[in-house]
Every structure is written in structure tokens, then in C-alpha cells.
């Protein structure tokens, strides 16, 4: 068993990993200090928030807060569709208060019946109304037995393009091949903002994919509350939790980051603070996914072990082994691990090293961790273990350092990791093609500001900005893949991609590949300045020709930052039709739920194929009119008119009752079964 990580090795391993930094913390503290000097108006906060959507039967915590009170507001009324919330949920409130607040909490509740629910809060002059939509999963069509979700952390559209260029190349403007993710059935775009900010971090965006709910920056599987504790905020159930309790499905989590990091943690976690990594490791043990593969062993080791980051003597690796898990600490031991047992693999005390350094045996970067597996081998092993369960499985695979290396403006290492994830997608697709029962979804949690401006070439003696070739001067890059493994043999070629960053600190860019991952900016008396160590020649007297002036706050941001741009989504397999057009990130959760036909309530499943009445009638050349006064809808086609009485639920033609199947959805749209409408219209 690997528990002998030294403190020195751990310290070295943590240098230059490009870990995601939320560098607005100082600004946030300053803003909070300034706001504290201004008296806040009393307000009502309801969690879940307005326009939240739920899968019927999914568990959550309900909470109402009256905040910044200057006096007792008096009697408090909290109703849901006109009934007392405590009666609706069948549980009493847990009531708490401070000098300036009152809280009403009911934990572990669910809406079992689909529909629209209106929450109304009244406390003296304070009022708040929020609306929820509760959905049943679509039971029609072919259903998936398994779901594999790939998250390319920070994988913007430009990251996909970079990976395709470096992996496949172009000839006279046409790509010589496509990535695995390029070949999928469906494509969509995903919006990524959180409930509290335009630009998201990985925690609340990954949480949206796993719960169907928005969260706040740093939040995982929760809505934020007004308490100091990060572990008592209102929870929302994750898809993994739903699948384990309702179907007995297996769950797998694979990442090249610390397994407690935001994206993998979102599969199981409930915390307001993504930095609660020791607690997140314990949450992993509580749910016990059948496969856990990644870095982050420092949070599994008791504090007595050199290199541990725990503050107690819990030995989580030992606990997992006692629970029947095989433990692997290297590529060699992962390969030897049996597929018939649950599997815990931790291959680095911190984030795993990036693919380029792992694949080239770059000891300057790897230090003593020279036997780490690649992402596609981890994915294959996870599938081998998870597919033993006849009830199916849910697997989340993250290409973590696509993001982490963009933060350090090291787009080459980021792109190699994007190609590595694409290889893992190919492994998953082979499994899906063979079995025909697996949905694969590929997306990103947020975007970055990297963009391809052209190519960089010093062949005429120019360098720096003058060597960036645009438009007709941007001749195609000359990366070579002689061994046909899908990766460039060398990232340093004579004509490279010219990648520019729109949201970064001051940094040096000489378009020479860094020997090891290197921070783009360093602290100089409280201001982040460009790091000369990023240059091939840090002592170059003319180095300012490589200086890129930043666009972010030099007192708070030391790295390139996330952006609010939409991100790509690709889907393949049964249920892929649920992923089309422009989707909010919470809708990705419901797409997966619909592909599985997940029923948490035991209610009778409606397998009829419903279509939108207006769209279907228009397609046939007919017209649809609604009379809001009488609550009736008339359909006219080929001279025949059918009237639907939405109040009585009856259909008629020439004042005679006829059989026609129709209903309204949560948006008030009328749905019909196409066969019954065609029969009614003759």
C-alpha cells in the first residue's frame, strides 16, 4: 500500500501544477468590508431559488431566511400553492434566529408530483414569491442503461479547435481527420453562469450538471445560506445519489486532478466551500462510488503520515480497503487491479501531472511520480469495473488540466490534455457501439479566454508580436505526428499556433515551450508582474518584446481567468436527442435523467409519445387558436375543426364528444398524441 509520500516530495509535487485559483477573494473581502459600513435593507431569501427545476422525487433541503432585520417582523407565513409549507412536506420547521435574522428549515424533502409550485413568504412588510417547476423524466423512446459524462474542464470551443489542429492537422484548409468528440450525433451549446455571478468556477458549474440546480461560486450540491459553517447549507441531491438509492446503479469518478477537486467532488459533495477537501474525501467514502481514480491522496492519509493534509488520524485508504476496494497507486498496479472488485486509485498526492510530462517522462516535472496512468487507461478500467453491474452505471470522467494549464497560459500542455481526453472518449465510444445502451455526453464546465489569432513564425528574423502571422500570412502550422498516436511529436515547431489570451495578467510569451509548468505572473510588492522564468532566456535584455499587457486586476489576479462564453456539448447514443440547441447547464442534468427515464417516485410511467399541438398542426398545414376566456383551443385542418376544452378535458367536433388524448405541460403548452389527433381530424 502506498502511504509513504514524504513531505518534501509533496511540496515539490504541488509546484507548478496550474491549480485553479479564484483570485477575486481579496476583492470580495474588500467589497464585503465596504458593504458592512452601509446598513442593509431587510430581505427574504428562499432556497431553492426562483425558477429552480426539480426531478419529481429528488431530495433537497428547503430554507427561508429573513435577513438584516432591525426589528421583529411579527408572524411569518410560508406557503406552497396556498398551503403551509410544513404541511406540504409533512415535516415541521427547524427554527433558528440571530439578532438580525430568522431562519426556517426543513431538510430531506421532495416534490413527488410534477407541476408548478409557488412559494409565498410574508413577514410583516416583507414578501417574497418564487416559482418551481417539477418534472417527470421522459419515459418514451429508447432509454440508456449507462451514462458516461466527460467534462473537459475549461474546454472552450477554441480548445477543441486547438486539439483538432495539433492532433489531426490540415491540408489546404481541410482537416485531415476529426476528433472522436467531433463525430458525435448531436451538438449543442451550454450557458454556464452561476446563481451569484456571470463568470462561474468549476464547482457550481459541475454542480449544475450533477444536480440540475444552480449554486454559488465555490458551492457543491448546495444553495448558500447565512451561516458561517460551510457544511450545513441547504443540500440538493446529486444524480449519483439518486441512481444508487433508486436503481442500485454503480458510480465511477475519474479525473486527472485531485479527486476532491471541484469537478469530481460535484458527483458526491455538499459543501459551500470547495476547499473542504478532507471532508469531501469523507463524502466519497460515505457514498462509496464503485470506482474512484485520480490524484489527491494527501487527503486520504492520516496526519501522522508524511505528506498528509488531514488534521486527524483517519486512514481513508484503509477504510476503503476494509470496505472491499482494491487500492492502486500507480499505472502498474491499476493495470493489475481486478475488474470484479471496487477500485480506489490515487496516483499523486496532489493533481496528477499533465499528459505531456507523463508521456515524455519529464522528471523535472514528475519528480518521483513516474508511474502515473493516462486518462484513457483509467477510463477503460473504470468501464471494466462498472459494467459488472447489471443495473447499469454512471461514470464522470474529467480532463482536469485542460483548465489548469490554460490558467498558466500554457496552451500547449492544455491541448495535449484535451487530446488525451479525446482518446478516452474513443474508449467510451467503442464500449457504447458494442453494447448499444450507453449515452455519452461531452462538455465543459466553463470557458477560457484563449483564442487562435493565426500562426507564429520566426523564419524571417522577426520575433515577439511581430512574428504573429494573421490572415494570408497565417500559413498552416507544421506539427508532425510521425508515430500516428494523435499527439504532435514535438510542441516546438518552426510554425506554431499563435494563441492569445483575452483575460490574463501581465505575462511573457516567446512561443517557446516551457520545460516545466511555470506561473505566468509573480508577486512583486503586492502587484502581480510578468514572470521572466516563462522565457527561454529569462535574462534577455530585450525581453519586453515578449511582454503581453494584461487585462485583469494586477493586485488580485495572478493567472488567466475563466470567461462567461458558452461552451460546446456533444452527445452520442440513446438519449442524445435531448441535447440540442442552446442549453442552460442545469438542463444537461435533465437530459441525462430523461435518457435514463429515471423515475424516483414509483408513479405510473406515461409512455405515450406527446407532441406540441401547435407545432404539429402547423406542420400539417393547420391552424390553432386559443380562447383564454373560455379556456378552449380549436384546431382547424382540411376544413375540419376540433375543439379542446382545457377545463373539462374533453374534445369535440360539431358539438359531439370525441376521443382525443391531450394535456398541458408546465409552461401551459398543449400537448397531444399525434395518432389520436390525426384520427380525430379524419
Nearby residues of 198 by Cβ (< 8 Å), 6 or more positions away: 564
In a domain, 379, yes or no: yes
Same domain for 531 and 614, yes or no, is no
Confidence class of residue 133 from pLDDT cuts 50, 70 and 90? Answer: very high
Q: Is the pLDDT of residue 356 over 90?
A: yes
Among residues 21, 17, 13, the alpha carbon closest in space to that of 413 is found at: 17
Q: Is the pLDDT of residue 35 over 50?
A: no
In the DSSP assignment, the letter for residue 497 is E
The annotation status of 261 as a binding-site residue, yes or no, is yes
So what's the pLDDT on residue 436?
A: 96
Beta strands in 553-608 (DSSP E): 562-563, 567-572, 581-584
Distance between CA atoms of residues 419 and 19, nearest Å: 20
So what's the pLDDT on residue 679?
A: 84
In a domain, 437, yes or no: no
Looking up residue 111, the CATH number of its domain turns out to be 2.60.40.10
In the DSSP assignment, the letter for residue 546 is G
Distance between CA atoms of residues 489 and 122, nearest Å: 66
* Cβ burial, residue 480 (10 Å; 0-12/13-18/19+): exposed
Chain segment 256-311, per-residue pLDDT in tens: 999 999 999 999 999 999 999 999 999 999 999 999 999 999 999 999 999 999 99
Q: Is the pLDDT of residue 519 over 50?
A: yes
Given a contact cutoff of 8 angstroms between Cβ atoms, the answer to whether 356 and 347 are in contact is no
Same domain for 282 and 198, yes or no, is yes
Q: Is the pLDDT of residue 184 over 80?
A: yes
Distance between CA atoms of residues 558 and 554, nearest Å: 7
Per-residue pLDDT averaged across 620-633, rounded?
92
How much is the mean pLDDT over the chain?
Answer: 93
Distance between CA atoms of residues 453 and 326, nearest Å: 48
Same domain for 95 and 202, yes or no, is no
In the DSSP assignment, the letter for residue 230 is S
So what's the pLDDT on residue 609?
A: 79
**Most distant CA atoms of the chain, gap in Å:** 92
- Residue 653 pairs in a beta bridge with 656
Chain segment 63-97, per-residue pLDDT in tens: 999 999 999 999 999 999 999 999 999 999 999 99
Distance between CA atoms of residues 409 and 512, nearest Å: 12
In a domain, 206, yes or no: yes
Give the DSSP per-residue string, 43-60. Answer: EEEEESPTT-EEETT--E
Per-residue pLDDT averaged across 314-324, rounded?
98
Distance between CA atoms of residues 101 and 23, nearest Å: 30
Q: Is the pLDDT of residue 416 over 70?
A: yes
The annotation status of 153 as a binding-site residue, yes or no, is yes
| Residue 616 or residue 606, greater confidence | 616
Among residues 209, 217, 309, the alpha carbon closest in space to that of 272 is found at: 217
Residues of the chain with pLDDT > 90, as a percent, come to 87
In 10 A of CB 414, how many CB atoms?
32
Chain segment 5-24, per-residue pLDDT in tens: 333 333 333 334 444 444 44
Confidence class of residue 639 from pLDDT cuts 50, 70 and 90? Answer: confident
Catalytically annotated residues: 202
| Residue 243 or residue 666, greater confidence | 243
In a domain, 35, yes or no: no
Q: Is the pLDDT of residue 37 over 80?
A: no
Same domain for 230 and 378, yes or no, is yes
Per-residue three-class SS string for 125-190? CEEEEEEEEEECCCCCCCCCCEEEEEEECCCCHHHHHHHHHHHHCEECCEECCCCCHHHCCEEEEE
Looking up residue 667, the CATH number of its domain turns out to be 3.30.457.10
Same domain for 131 and 203, yes or no, is no
Same domain for 285 and 215, yes or no, is yes
**Going by DSSP bridges, is the β-strand pair 438-443/581-584 parallel, antiparallel, or unpaired?**
unpaired
Residue 666 grid coordinates? 408546465
Looking up residue 288, the CATH number of its domain turns out to be 3.40.720.10
* Cβ burial, residue 580 (10 Å; 0-12/13-18/19+): middle
Distance between CA atoms of residues 320 and 174, nearest Å: 50
Q: Which of 372, 392, 412 is the last residue of a domain?
A: 392
So what's the pLDDT on residue 17?
A: 42
Q: Is the pLDDT of residue 216 over 90?
A: yes
Phi-psi region of 651 (alpha: psi -120 to 50; beta: other; left: phi over 0): beta
In 10 A of CB 107, how many CB atoms?
15
Same domain for 554 and 620, yes or no, is no
Same domain for 533 and 623, yes or no, is no
Half-sphere exposure of 39 (CA within 13 A, CB side): 5
State the sign of the Cα–Cα–Cα–Cα dihedral 202, 334, 416, 411: positive
Chain segment 459-516, per-residue pLDDT in tens: 999 999 999 999 999 999 999 999 999 999 999 999 999 999 999 999 999 999 999 9
Query: Taking the chain, what is the end-to-end CA distance rounded to the nearest angstrom?
Result: 73
So what's the pLDDT on residue 38?
A: 64
In a domain, 386, yes or no: yes
Among residues 268, 331, 482, the alpha carbon closest in space to that of 2 is found at: 331
Among residues 78, 80, 106, the alpha carbon closest in space to that of 92 is found at: 106
Among residues 168, 171, 106, 111, the alpha carbon closest in space to that of 135 is found at: 111
**Going by DSSP bridges, is the β-strand pair 325-328/342-346 parallel, antiparallel, or unpaired?**
parallel
Chain segment 531-590, per-residue pLDDT in tens: 999 999 999 999 999 999 999 999 999 999 999 999 999 999 999 999 999 999 999 999
pTM (predicted TM-score)? 0.88
Same domain for 534 and 616, yes or no, is no
In a domain, 222, yes or no: yes
Three-point CA angle 391, 394, 398, nearest 5°: 160
Confidence class of residue 608 from pLDDT cuts 50, 70 and 90? Answer: confident
Q: Is the pLDDT of residue 131 over 60?
A: yes
Same domain for 219 and 365, yes or no, is yes
The annotation status of 84 as a binding-site residue, yes or no, is no
Q: Is the pLDDT of residue 193 over 50?
A: yes
Among residues 564, 562, 555, 563, the alpha carbon closest in space to that of 521 is found at: 555
| Domains identified in the chain, total number | 4
* Cβ burial, residue 217 (10 Å; 0-12/13-18/19+): buried
In a domain, 621, yes or no: yes
Distance between CA atoms of residues 275 and 231, nearest Å: 11
Distance between CA atoms of residues 644 and 681, nearest Å: 13
Q: Which of 537, 565, 593 is the last residue of a domain?
A: 565
Confidence class of residue 668 from pLDDT cuts 50, 70 and 90? Answer: confident
Among residues 518, 516, 523, 495, the alpha carbon closest in space to that of 508 is found at: 518
Residue 243 grid coordinates? 441512481
Distance between CA atoms of residues 137 and 320, nearest Å: 34
The annotation status of 403 as a binding-site residue, yes or no, is yes
The annotation status of 263 as a binding-site residue, yes or no, is yes
Among residues 489, 555, 561, 493, the alpha carbon closest in space to that of 528 is found at: 555
Pure H helices in 374-410: 375-386, 401-407
Among the listed ranges 202-216, 232-246, 395-409, 654-668, which one has the minimum average pLDDT value? 654-668
* Distances in whole angstroms, Cα of residue 285 to Cα of each of 210, 314, 341, 418, 527: 18, 12, 16, 29, 41
Per-residue pLDDT averaged across 146-167, rounded?
98
Distance between CA atoms of residues 435 and 133, nearest Å: 35
So what's the pLDDT on residue 10?
A: 37
Same domain for 213 and 346, yes or no, is yes
Same domain for 632 and 524, yes or no, is no
Give the DSSP per-residue string, 301-316. Answer: S-TTSTT---SS---H
Q: Which of 103, 135, 167 is the last residue of a domain?
A: 135
Q: Is the pLDDT of residue 368 over 80?
A: yes
Among residues 405, 400, 413, 423, the alpha carbon closest in space to that of 358 is found at: 413
The annotation status of 398 as a binding-site residue, yes or no, is yes
So what's the pLDDT on residue 210?
A: 98
Among residues 11, 101, 114, the alpha carbon closest in space to that of 665 is found at: 114
In a domain, 418, yes or no: no
* Distances in whole angstroms, Cα of residue 126 to Cα of each of 6, 42, 72, 219, 464: 57, 8, 11, 27, 60
So what's the pLDDT on residue 507?
A: 98
Host domain of residue 668? 610-681
Amino acid at each position: 500500500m502506498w502511504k509513504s509520500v514524504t513531505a518534501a516530495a509533496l511540496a515539490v509535487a504541488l509546484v507548478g501544477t496550474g491549480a485553479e485559483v479564484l483570485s477575486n477573494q481579496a476583492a470580495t473581502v474588500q467589497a464585503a468590508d465596504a458593504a458592512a459600513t452601509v446598513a442593509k435593507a431587510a430581505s427574504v431569501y428562499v432556497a431553492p431559488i426562483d425558477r429552480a427545476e426539480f426531478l419529481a422525487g429528488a431530495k433537497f433541503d428547503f430554507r427561508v431566511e429573513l435577513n438584516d432585520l432591525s426589528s421583529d417582523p411579527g408572524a411569518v407565513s410560508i406557503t406552497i400553492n396556498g398551503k403551509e409549507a410544513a404541511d406540504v412536506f409533512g415535516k415541521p420547521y427547524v427554527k433558528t434566529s440571530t439578532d438580525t435574522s430568522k431562519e426556517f428549515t426543513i431538510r430531506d424533502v421532495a416534490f413527488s408530483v410534477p407541476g408548478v409550485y409557488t412559494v409565498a413568504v410574508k413577514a410583516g412588510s416583507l414578501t417574497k414569491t418564487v416559482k418551481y417547476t417539477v418534472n417527470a423524466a421522459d419515459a418514451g423512446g429508447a432509454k440508456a442503461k449507462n451514462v458516461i459524462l466527460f467534462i473537459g474542464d475549461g474546454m472552450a470551443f477554441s480548445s477543441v479547435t486547438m486539439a483538432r489542429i495539433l492532433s489531426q492537422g490540415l491540408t489546404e484548409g481541410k482537416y485531415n481527420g476529426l476528433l472522436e468528440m467531433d463525430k458525435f450525433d448531436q451538438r449543442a451549446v451550454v450557458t454556464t453562469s452561476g446563481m451569484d455571478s456571470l463568470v462561474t468556477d468549476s464547482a457550481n458549474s459541475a454542480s449544475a450538471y450533477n444536480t440540475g440546480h444552480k449554486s454559488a461560486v465555490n458551492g457543491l450540491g448546495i444553495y448558500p445560506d447565512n451561516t458561517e459553517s460551510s457544511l450545513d447549507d441547504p443540500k440538493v441531491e446529486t444524480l449519483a445519489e439518486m441512481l444508487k438509492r433508486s436503481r442500485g446503479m454503480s458510480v465511477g469518478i475519474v479525473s486527472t486532478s485531485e479527486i476532491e477537486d471541484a469537478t469530481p467532488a460535484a458527483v458526491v459533495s455538499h459543501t459551500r466551500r470547495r476547499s473542504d477537501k478532507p471532508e469531501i474525501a469523507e463524502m466519497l467514502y460515505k457514498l462509496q462510488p464503485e470506482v474512484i481514480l485520480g490524484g489527491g491522496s494527501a487527503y486520504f492519509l492520516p496526519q501522522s503520515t508524511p505528506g498528509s493534509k488531514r488534521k486527524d488520524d483517519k486512514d481513508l485508504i484503509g477504510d476503503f480497503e476494509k470496505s472491499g476496494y482494491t487500492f492502486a497507486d500507480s499505472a502498474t498496479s491499476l493495470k493489475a487491479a481486478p475488474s470484479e472488485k471496487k477500485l480506489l486509485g490515487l496516483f499523486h498526492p496532489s493533481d496528477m501531472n499533465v499528459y505531456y510530462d507523463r508521456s515524455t517522462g519529464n522528471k523535472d516535472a514528475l519528480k518521483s511520480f513516474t508511474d502515473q496512468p493516462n486518462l484513457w487507461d483509467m477510463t477503460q478500467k473504470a468501464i471494466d469495473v462498472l459494467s459488472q453491474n447489471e443495473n447499469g452505471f454512471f461514470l464522470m470522467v474529467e480532463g482536469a488540466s485542460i483548465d489548469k494549464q490554460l490558467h498558466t497560459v500554457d496552451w500547449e500542455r492544455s491541448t495535449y490534455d484535451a487530446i488525451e481526453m479525446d482518446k478516452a472518449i474513443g474508449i467510451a465510444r467503442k464500449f457504447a457501439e458494442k453494447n448499444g445502451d450507453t449515452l455519452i455526453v461531452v462538455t465543459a464546465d466553463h470557458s477560457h479566454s484563449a483564442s487562435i489569432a493565426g500562426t507564429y513564425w520566426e523564419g524571417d528574423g522577426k520575433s515577439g508580436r511581430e512574428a504573429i502571422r494573421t490572415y494570408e500570412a497565417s500559413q498552416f502550422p507544421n506539427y508532425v505526428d510521425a508515430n500516428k498516436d494523435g499527439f504532435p511529436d514535438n510542441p516546438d515547431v518552426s510554425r506554431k499556433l499563435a494563441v492569445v489570451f483575452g483575460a490574463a495578467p501581465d505575462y511573457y510569451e516567446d512561443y517557446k515551450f516551457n520545460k516545466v509548468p511555470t506561473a505566468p505572473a509573480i508577486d512583486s510588492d503586492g502587484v502581480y508582474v510578468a514572470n521572466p522564468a516563462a522565457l527561454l532566456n529569462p535574462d534577455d535584455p530585450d525581453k519586453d518584446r515578449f511582454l503581453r499587457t494584461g487585462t485583469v486586476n494586477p493586485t488580485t489576479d495572478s493567472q488567466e481567468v475563466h470567461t462567461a462564453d458558452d461552451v460546446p456539448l456533444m452527445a452520442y447514443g440513446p438519449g442524445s436527442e435531448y441535447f440540442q440547441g442552446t442549453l442552460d447547464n442545469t438542463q444537461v442534468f435533465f437530459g441525462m435523467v430523461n435518457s435514463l427515464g429515471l423515475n424516483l417516485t414509483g408513479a405510473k410511467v406515461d409512455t405515450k409519445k406527446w407532441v406540441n399541438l401547435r407545432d404539429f398542426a402547423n406542420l400539417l398545414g393547420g391552424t390553432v387558436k386559443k380562447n383564454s376566456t373560455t379556456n378552449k383551443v380549436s384546431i382547424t385542418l382540411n376544413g375540419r375543426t376540433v375543439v379542446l376544452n382545457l377545463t373539462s378535458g374533453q374534445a369535440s367536433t360539431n358539438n359531439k364528444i370525441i376521443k382525443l388524448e391531450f394535456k398541458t405541460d408546465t409552461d401551459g403548452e398543449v400537448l397531444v398524441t399525434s395518432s389520436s389527433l390525426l384520427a380525430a381530424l379524419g
